[in-house]
């Protein structure tokens, strides 16, 4: 590409077998810029929505309120693995012959609401400055403490027998930081047969859904970049400024305005251009990130 694309977001439908960093590397080549980053890591086995920022939009990624995510998943009951998913080694197995569909549905219902969830030891959570999964691969035993998460909705789809196992299709909406692998593990523990994740597809991240996601092959033909101003309108409360206020923002000055709420607010020039994120500090609004 001869011209760099405008600053904005690319909503990728990540394929299985690639890391989120692999996707960023591919987008850097397609966009012709090193300024590419992602929000909300997906494991290599997972597919679906990965939000990628291009050029100045990378500065916005850490501020995006992508606090709710949605997934379709398949849990295999009857065995537990070292990674809580299909990529790990099986360390226990149990018969599911006595389990029926109603027992599975009843057990799954207990995983809705505010929960204390123990993350998988192979997660990217840092322990004393080192990723938990790196410590596990180095032979260390890692036991991460439980932390609060919220599962807003969990629906059980098909429950089907696969040999000695039961495969259960789930659809869930949850808070950021929820591990679907841990839901699979804990569901298996609740039913006393073990469980692990065998398929995961993220269907939404904040306001971005599969409906607007593009495969990497499609993006190679047509790099669809959501305009930064559109992204800001969708992800933040907004405030339209007059010409004088817009000039002040360009210099990073505080504004004599009152913003609602504690979250950053996107401010826009009179012509509709996204200028910056501001937050309330005392009687004035101060810049959090100026992108103009």
Q: Beta partners for 265?
A: 237, 278
Sign of the Cα torsion 50, 56, 59, 60 reads negative
Q: Contact, 104 vs 74, CB < 8 A?
A: no
DSSP bridge pairs for 68: 175
Q: Where are the beta strands (DSSP E) in 19-137?
A: 36-39, 47-54, 68-77, 79-81, 90-93, 113-117, 126-127, 130-131
Query: What SS3 state is found at 256?
Result: coil
Cα separation of the two ends of the chain: 24
Distance of alpha carbon 280 from alpha carbon 101, whole angstroms: 52
Residues labelled catalytic: 43
Q: Give the C-alpha separation, 157 to 171, whole Å.
A: 7
Helices (H) then strands (E): counts for the chain: 7, 18
């Amino acid at each position: 590409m001869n011209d760099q694309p405008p600053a904005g977001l690319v909503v990728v439908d990540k394929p299985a077998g690639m890391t989120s960093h692999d996707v960023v590397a591919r987008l850097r080549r397609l966009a012709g810029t090193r300024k590419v980053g992602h929000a909300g890591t997906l494991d290599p086995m997972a597919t679906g929505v990965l939000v990628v920022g291009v050029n100045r939009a990378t500065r916005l990624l850490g501020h995006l309120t992508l606090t709710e995510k949605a997934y379709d998943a398949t849990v295999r009951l009857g065995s537990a693995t070292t990674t809580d998913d299909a990529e790990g080694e099986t360390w226990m197995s149990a018969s599911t012959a006595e389990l029926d569909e109603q027992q599975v549905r009843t057990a799954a219902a207990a995983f809705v609401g505010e929960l204390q969830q123990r993350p998988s030891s192979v997660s990217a959570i840092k322990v004393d400055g080192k990723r938990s999964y790196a410590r596990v691969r180095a032979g260390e035993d890692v036991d991460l403490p439980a932390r609060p998460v919220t599962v807003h909705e969990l629906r059980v789809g098909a429950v089907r027998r696969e040999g000695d196992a039961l495969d259960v299709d789930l659809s869930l909406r949850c808070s950021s930081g929820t591990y679907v692998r841990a839901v699979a593990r804990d569901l298996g523990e609740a039913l006393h047969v073990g469980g692990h994740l065998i398929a995961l597809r993220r269907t939404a991240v904040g306001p971005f859904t599969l409906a607007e996601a593009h495969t990497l092959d499609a993006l190679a033909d047509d790099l669809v970049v959501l305009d930064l101003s559109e992204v800001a309108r969708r992800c933040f409360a907004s405030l339209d400024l007059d010409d004088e206020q817009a000039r002040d923002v360009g210099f990073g000055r505080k504004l004599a305005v009152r913003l609602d709420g504690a979250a950053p607010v996107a401010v826009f020039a009179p012509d509709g251009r996204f200028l910056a994120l501001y937050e309330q500090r005392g009687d004035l609004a101060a810049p959090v990130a100026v992108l103009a």
